[in-house]
Structures are given as structure tokens and as C-alpha cells.
Structure 1
Amino acid sequence: MIKEWNLLRVIACLSIVFLHSTTQTGNLTGYPNNELYELLRILLCYATPTFIILSEMILANRYPDQLPDQFWQKRLKWIYVPFLVFAVIDAIIVKQLYSNIDLQKKLLDNIFLGSYEGYFILIVLQFYVLHYFVIRFNIPIRILIPISFIVMGIHLYLLHTNIPFVQEYKAELKLPFTAWFGYFTIAFLIGRHYKFFSKTLFKYRWYTILGLLSSIYIVYFSYKSGIVGVNSRRFDLIPLTFSISLAVMAWGQLIPNLRIVNLISKYSFGIYLVHWQVQRYIAPYTVEWFNHTITQVLGLFVITLLITFILIYLISLLPFGAYIVGNTKKHNYRRKKKMNLTSTSKYKTRLKHL
């Protein structure tokens, strides 16, 4: 795996756990009336679309022209089955915590509508299908990019309207890939031509800092304008998500290949699935053990990570553990030599088709 992609995955993973630490703490003690705290929660929402971007960048980098044999079988086993398992686990835990919940309805909602924290997996699976169609029919990415952002813009706009149908099914309407379409096309472009982009990003890495600061200001301006919703479907998170991703890919090339980063990256899928359930049980204790919001959040964040790591490790030792927390074995993402774009001529050939 490309080391800066591992770093990006780790930063996004930890951001999600930290965001949910603020959510679980806030659910129990109330959210502090603090502008910086509220803005931080909004900024952390970049993490989910970043995971979605990473999934497509990896796919486009590894399989730019065709999908290999067993592709769908492996994704169903190591990604979709864990999604189903935690859909069941989440429903059982919710029923145990809130006795008035209809277990059957919650279970069906989790499985078919992604009505729990693993919903992003359904979006990633749609990206896999979309990737197949793009390479199968050789759809020019230069045409797809503007279309994708127009479609995505319309979808996000509708999600922010007061149309009764939209309000009633808002949770379900975040699932279609059209709400995330622009992320797909840019990720496809970067992943397919990553050697070119990585060199360019490194050369102009200081500009990525400028882009990052500008995108943070856009979020701040939106927040001051009264747009205070904490979710990943905000318009202002689009430039933030891309600017963070580009900055990490640029500056991450300077960071050595650290074992701790690789370890967290390897466990990231499991962390995403497990941490929310752990926090449901741990949060009541951390709000009692610590006196201030920041220490309550940090305490929940650290303890959640420790317990989650232990659980994933123990589960992965089981013969069927990969069907619960995903495949945590070391992957070799190096592409075959015949697919590796090492020459300038190949880059030029590919870039002509953009």
C-alpha cells in the first residue's frame, strides 16, 4: 500500500472515532455552547467521504482497466458480510439498551437501509459497481467529472430542502451514490494516474496548505452564516475533504513508513465497525470518571481505541474472524509489473484520454 494513503486512512479513522467520542459524550452530558467545539465537530465530518475517496483511489490505482477474477467474491466476503454482521450486532445492542425498539424493524433497516454507522459500506459497494461500468464501457473521465458534480450538487441541494418526501426519507436518501458522485470521479482520476499526481503534489506541497486553510475558512464562514449541521453531506465539506486528502498525500511522502500507522490502517475497517458499539457502553463511565468535556471526550477516545484494538485482534484469531471485522491480514497492494506505469510515455498516453 502507498504509505501516504495509509496515513490518510489512519487520520480519517481517528477523526471518526474522535467525532463520535464528542457525540456520545454530548448525548449524555449535553453539548457545550462553545463555538470552537461546534466547529471542530463539523470539520471532523470530512472523514467519512475521505474513506469513500480512498476506496476508489485504491481501486482505480490497482485496476485501471479491468477487474480481476474473484473481485466480487472477495468484496462480498471481506466487506459486505462484516456489514451484515454488524447490522445484526447493532440491532441487538440497540434493543438491549432501549427496550421499546422494534428489533425486527431495526434489523431490517440496518441491513437494507444502512441505518447504523456502517452505512458508508453501502456507498463504497456502489462505487465498486460504478467503477466496473466506467472501465467496462471506457467512459471518458473528463466528461464524467462535470456530470458527477452537477448530479451531486442537485442531490445535496435536495437533501437540504424542506420537501416533505425528502424530510421523511432523509436518512435513506444519503445512500445513493449520486450524493457522493463527485468524490468518485476525482478519486478515480487521482488513483489511475497517481504517480503523476504524487510528484505534482509533492512539488507544490506548500500550496496544499493554502488550499487547506482556505477550505477551513469556507466551513467557518458557513458556520457563522448559520449552517451548523454536523453531517458529511454539507456542501462546504467537499473542498475540505479534497484539500485534506491532497495535503496528506503531498506531505505524507516525507513521513517514513511507520509501523503504528500501518497497524492502525490494517485495523481501520474493523475500528469503523466496532468503535461505535464500544462507545455505547464506555461513554457512561468516562463522563463519570472525568470532570470536563475535553477530558471526557479524550478519555472516551483513548479507551475506545484500546478496547477496539483488543477486540479486533481477538476476533481476528477466530477462523471466521475476517467475516466479522474484515480481513486484517497483511495485504500486498503492489500492482503487477505489466500494470505499473513507470514511463513518461505511458503517462502521456493515459492523460490524453482524460
Structure 2
Amino acid sequence: MKNSIVQQKNRPIISELVILRFVACLAVVMIHAIETSLENYTGELSTIETLFYHTIRMAMMFGTPTFVFLSELLLAKSYQGDLPANFLSTRAKYLLLPYLSMAVVYGVIFHANESLNAVFIAVLKNIFLADFTVYFVLIIFQFYLLHFFLHSYLKTWNRNIVLITSLIINLLYLAFFNFVPPISFIPNVDFLWYHLSWLPFPGWLFYFTLGYYCGRHYHEFKMILSKFQKLVFFIPIPVFLLVLILSYTQIIGVVSSKRIDIIFYTTTMIFLLIYLSSSVKHLHPIIVKISNYSFGIYLLHKIFMYYLKPMPILNSYGFTLYVFITSIILSMIVIYFVNKLSFGKYIVGRINTISISNVNGEKTRKKSEIS
């Protein structure tokens, strides 16, 4: 496999990870574009169309877990030694403040037609229960805390034991919520069951440890992918078929990335995407741009989808693409202009400043400090 790493501000920029972030971002937006289409075309779709949308939606479920994996990989690769003194404060500033801002924005927009008290309750639920699209920020910040407290131990522990143990914990945790029905005598148990299934870190633990060891031993990781390239290339197909079988037979009926089978599917997709993109010599500017804006796109895209309505000239497929593309473009426009304000990055997230020249090995420029 060809090396696609170039240096920037004493850190390498890894083009395949730029692609991975780009693809993960598009996958998340596509899931929500399909959901928006299904909401607007309820009762109008044929069985085949419904099955098609469900299949594509399930195929995109690797998106959010990939962000968890990627965030830890970048940390482990960037900080091989001690962590800087401002490690947590920097991440709190650039992650938690946009999270709080979006909690208010989502609460106001999605409950604008309700009472002031309902809006206030919605905002509180968004903040403390992550009851909105931006929930993944709290998950990632939990892993920043884990990295802060465990990185010195993870360096010395047997990685195979850590990976297997974390996988078992992750599978058991999700299996409990996938297969055990809610306890009926607990008040609001459905709401509680749903949030407990994905907000606490055990539901994502394997992505954290996998990201840590892949980042810490990145060259070795890529060599392993190259050694088993045929397996890496073909294994996602049967794994995804298993996901569909479990879904269509209702053995695991929930449509979510918080399913035990999605752990295996996401892992195979991450390996495949990194393997395929490692041979890419030059990235298109659109890939780099969307990757740079991915955090803000994740924060904002669902807001624009909320306002987009079907048009007579579009069928459900056209509407899905319209929602997908428009929400990305509008998100990027808002991110760009809000970031012109001194405090804008604390509202809609900071824009990564990796340029196309950096990734393609030309003149280097300064990169944003957060990974």
C-alpha cells in the first residue's frame, strides 16, 4: 500500500482519514435524508421503494460509530506521549459549547409551535439527556475523558485482551437493550430504555479501543489491512447481508446504529474504506471541504431538513437527493459565515483548516489544533 501521509505543523495529515470523515459525514446525512423522505411520503411508497430505502438506510449505519472510532484514532496517533495540560479544556470549549448552543436551537426550532414551557423542557432534555441529533458529542466527550484517564494504561496493557474485553462488554451491553424488553413498572421506561441503550459509553466502547490501537500503531494497522486485503475487501458483503436478515426478520427490529450487528458491520466498513482510500494520490477539493466542515454539518443539517418540503416535480427519490444535497450546502454556508464571528465556532463548531494542498503533498499551512 502506498503511503499517503504528508507533514503539517509537525503532525501528519492522513488522506485516508480525511476520506473516512467525509464518507461518515455523508452517511449520517443520507440516513436523515431518507428518514425525512419517509416522513413526507408516508402511505405513498410501494413495498419495493420502502425496502430500498430501508436497505440504504441500514447500509449507512456505520456513519456515527465511525466518527467515534476516528476521533480516538486521531487522539492516539497525535499524542503518543503525555497529553497537553489543556487537553480537556480545549475539547470542552470546542465541543461542549456548540453542543449547548445546538441544544437550545433544536429545542426552540422543533418546538416553536408549542408553549414556552414545552420549549424549555425540550431544551433541558436536549442538554441533559442528549435527546436530539447532536447526541454524539456527549459520547465523544466521554471518550475524551476515558482517553485522559486511561491512555497511560492502554499503552502498556495487552491490546488483544483489551480489544476482546471491550468487544464483549459492548456486545453484552447492546444485546441487553436489543433483546430485553423494557421493565414495565418503571415510569417512562421506554424513553429511559432508549436513551440508556446509546448514551453511556459502554454502548460504543469497542470503537474507542479499536480507534486507540489503530491510531497508536497506524503503520502496523495499514500493513495488516494490506496483508489481508482480500478479506478486507469482501467481508463487508456477508456482514451487511447478516444485518439485513436480522433486520427484515425482526430478530433485531430497531433501525439504529446501536445494534450488536452494526459493531461488526462498522468495523468491516472502516477497514475497507481506509484500505481503498490509502491508494488515492490526490483528493478532490469537495472531499476536503466537506471533511473540514463535517462537524458543523453534523450539527446543523437536520435543522434544514425540517424546513424542506416535497415539490410536485420530485418523486421520493428526487426529494431524498434534494434534501441530502441542500442540507449539506446550506449547513456549509451557515458554518462559513457564522465562523466569521469571533464566537461563531462556539455555536456551529470550528472549521478544520486542512487545505487540498496539504493533503496532496504541496505547500503546507497551519492546521486546527483539535483532532
**TM-score, normalization by structure 1:** 0.88
In structure 2, distance between residues paired with 1:299 and 1:184: 34
Structure 1 residues 268, 97: closer, same or farther in 2, change over 3 A?
Answer: farther
Report the counterpart of residue 214 of structure 1 in structure 2.
238
Q: Would the alpha carbon gap of residues 112 and 153 (structure 1) be closer, same or farther in structure 2, given more than 3 Å must change?
A: same
> d(CA) in 2 for partners of 1:317 and 1:208?
42
| 1:62 counterpart residue number | 78
- 1:270 matched to 2:296? The reply is yes
- Give the one of 322, 347, 350 matched to 1:299: 322
Residue matched to 1:108: 124
2:258 alignment partner in structure 1:
233
CA distance in 2, matches of 1:142, 1:178: 18
Give 1:270 shift: 0.2
Question: Quick one: structure 1 residues 134 and 150, their matched pair in 2 at CA, closer, same or farther if it must change by over 3 Å?
Answer: same
Matches within 5 A, 1:77-116: 77-98=93-114, 102-116=118-132
Instruction: Say which SS state the counterpart of residue 264 (structure 1) adopts.
Output: helix
Q: Deviations over 1:56-81 (max 9, x none)?
A: 11111111332112111210111111
Distance 1:206 1:130 in 2: 34
Matched residue SS, 2:275: helix
**Number of residue pairs matched by the alignment:** 331
SS of residue in 2 equivalent to 1:230: coil
State how far apart, in whole Å, the 1-side matches of 2:60 and 2:114 are: 28
What corresponds to 1:162 in structure 2?
181
**C-alpha distance in 2 between matches for 1:292 and 1:257:** 36
Structure 2 gap ranges (5+): 1-12, 360-371
Q: Which residue of 1 aligns with 2:368?
A: none
Aligned partners of 1:57 and 1:188 also within 8 Å: yes
Alignment pair present for 1:250 and 2:275: yes
1:8 to 8, 20, 24: 20
In 2, the alpha carbon distance for the partners of 1:104 and 1:90 equals 11
Contact map agreement 2:288 2:354 (CA 8 A) in 1: no
The equivalent position to 2:343 in structure 1, one of 315, 320, 341, is 320
Q: Work out the percentage of aligned pairs sharing the same amino acid.
A: 30
Q: Which moved more, 1:79-88 or 1:33-42?
A: 33-42
Structure 1 window deviating more from structure 2 (98-107 vs 118-127): it is 98-107
Contact 2:335/2:349 (8 A) holds in 1: no
Q: Measure, in 2, the Cα distance between the counterparts of 1:172 and 1:163.
A: 12
**SS of alignment partner, residue 255 of structure 1:** coil
Q: Which stretch shifts more, 212-221 or 30-39?
A: 30-39
State whether residues 205 and 251 of structure 1, in contact with CA within 8 Å, keep that contact through their aligned partners in structure 2: no
Q: Higher helix proportion, which one? A: 1
CA distance in 1, matches of 2:74, 2:210: 12
Are 2:161 and 1:132 aligned?
A: no
Q: Tell whether the 8 Å contact from 1:94 to 1:101 is kept in structure 2 after alignment.
A: no
RMSD of aligned alpha carbons: 2.1
Out of 188, 197, 221, the residue aligned to residue 197 of structure 1 is 221
Which amino acid in 1 is paired with 2:144?
Y
Moved more, 11-20 or 159-168: 159-168
Give, as a single letter, the amino acid of the residue that structure 1 aligns with 2:265. Answer: L
Superposed CA deviations along residues 247-271 of structure 1, whole A, max 9, x for unmatched, are 1111101113422211111100000
Deviations 1:186-228 (A, max 9, x none): 1111111001111332344332121111211211221232234
CA distance in 2, matches of 1:93, 1:327: 22
**Distance change >3 Å, CA 111–CA 296, structure 1 → 2:** same
Paired residue for 1:18, among 25, 30, 54? 30
Describe the SS at the equivalent of 1:119: helix
TM superposition shift of 1:100: 8.5
- Are the counterparts in 2 of residues 66 and 132 from structure 1 also a CA contact under 8 Å? no
Which is further off, 162-171 or 74-83?
Answer: 162-171
- Taking the aligned partners of 1:16 and 1:294, their CA distance within structure 2 comes to 17
Aligned amino acid, residue 246 of structure 2: S
Could you tell me which residue of structure 1 aligns to residue 8 of structure 2? Answer: none
Contact 1:118–1:272 (Cα < 8 Å) also in 2? yes
Residue identity in the other structure for 1:292: N
CA distances 1:21-40 after superposition (whole Å, capped 9, x unpaired): 11112122217333222121
In structure 2, do the counterparts of structure 1 residues 157 and 21 end up closer, same or farther at CA, with 3 Å as the change threshold? same
Tell me which stretches of 4 or more aligned residues in structure 1 moved more than 4 Å: 97-101, 331-334
The code of the aligned residue for 2:41 comes to: T
Deviates more, 1:79-88 or 1:20-29: 20-29
